[in-house]
Amino acid sequence: MIDDALPPPAAAPAEPPAAGPAPAARASRVGAQVDIVGMCKEYVHGGRVLSVLHGVELHLAAGDMVAVVGASGVGKSTFLQILGTLDLPTRGSIKFDGEELTTMGPERLAMFRNRKIGFVFQFHHLLPEFTALENVMMPGLIQRLPKAQVRQRAADILGRVGLSRRLTHKPSELSGGEQQRVALARAMVLEPALLLADEPTGNLDRHTGEEIHQLFVELHRERGSTMLVVTHNLELARMMPRTLKMIDGGQLAPYEEVAA
């Protein structure tokens, strides 16, 4: 049963958010403003310090949509994990609509993450024993929103990504592209202020990859989330309004400046 997978009610917000106006009317105020200053990340490995990110700066306005490209191992996933509050920086500041994240306690951070941030990974990370619909319902159920409303929202967004006829399929009964569309629907179902994607099409053929990127662009236009998408594919990156290249030390430069 789907409820068995939920955390205890203590994690619930005091008041479920109201249903709110239609998505189109909401779009302009959904996205988060993100300000990253002096972000550093060091790993200690085998007794040695490995400095991956060194003084990274990034400012995202509410509703920005940015692609990040860069060589393998340069620190893109590390950066995304920290921005998504799944890991802490060694130093530096991350402000989310003016609120500092690096000093937030773990419980508050978990709630914040669930309410404000959506993730899409290279491998979909769907729960194999649940259907597409149940997987997309999960973030709303974790927030203890009313089940009927959660079901409706999940069905709506699955329809939006073209899967209204696959609601009862489990991940193993979906194609790779369909699984990734479910993952995108799950990440977007609560209209997160920030959507982070780490090579969401790295595992897909070119045509399916293009379709998924197109969906990112369309959902961004409709829902207004601030989006950061890491990709190895420059053609796909170019579908986004702004492309940054991560270079040594995790510095993020406009792609055009470092392309030559």
Specify the residue, 25 or 49, whose C-beta has the smaller distance to ligand ATP.
Answer: 49
* Residue list 51-70, contact with ligand ATP (CB under 6 A): 52, 70
233 near Mg ion, rule: CB under 5 A? no
Interface mask toward ligand ATP for 18-57; x: CB under 6 A: -------------------------x-x----x-x-----
Kindly report the number of other CB atoms within 10 A of residue 4's CB atom.
5
203 near Mg ion, rule: CB under 5 A? no
Specify the residue, 150 or 204, whose C-beta has the smaller distance to Mg ion.
Answer: 204
- The correct pick among 9, 47, 72, 172 for binding ligand ATP (CB under 6 A) is 72
Name the binder of 50 from Mg ion, ligand ATP, none, CB < 5-8 A by kind: ligand ATP
Specify the residue, 189 or 197, whose C-beta has the smaller distance to Mg ion.
Answer: 197
Contact range with Mg ion by CB under 5 A, out of 3-11, 69-77, 149-157, 216-224: 69-77
Query: What is the Cα–Cα distance from 175 to 212, expressed in whole angstroms?
Result: 13
* Residue list 70-89, contact with Mg ion (CB under 5 A): 77
What is the distance of C-alpha 83 from the center of its chain? 10
User: Applying CB under 6 A, what is the total number of residues that bind ligand ATP?
Assistant: 12
Question: Which strands form 194-198's sheet, in the order they lie side by side?
Answer: 117-120, 194-198, 226-230, 65-70, 242-246, 252-254
73 near ligand ATP, rule: CB under 6 A? yes
Name the binder of 89 from ligand ATP, Mg ion, none, CB < 5-8 A by kind: none
78 near ligand ATP, rule: CB under 6 A? yes
Specify the residue, 69 or 155, whose C-beta has the smaller distance to ligand ATP.
Answer: 69
**Residue 62 corresponds to which tokens in the numbers above?**
């509410």
Name the binder of 75 from ligand ATP, Mg ion, none, CB < 5-8 A by kind: ligand ATP
**Positions that interact with Mg ion (CB under 5 A):** 77
**Positions that interact with ligand ATP (CB under 6 A):** 43, 45, 50, 52, 70, 72-78
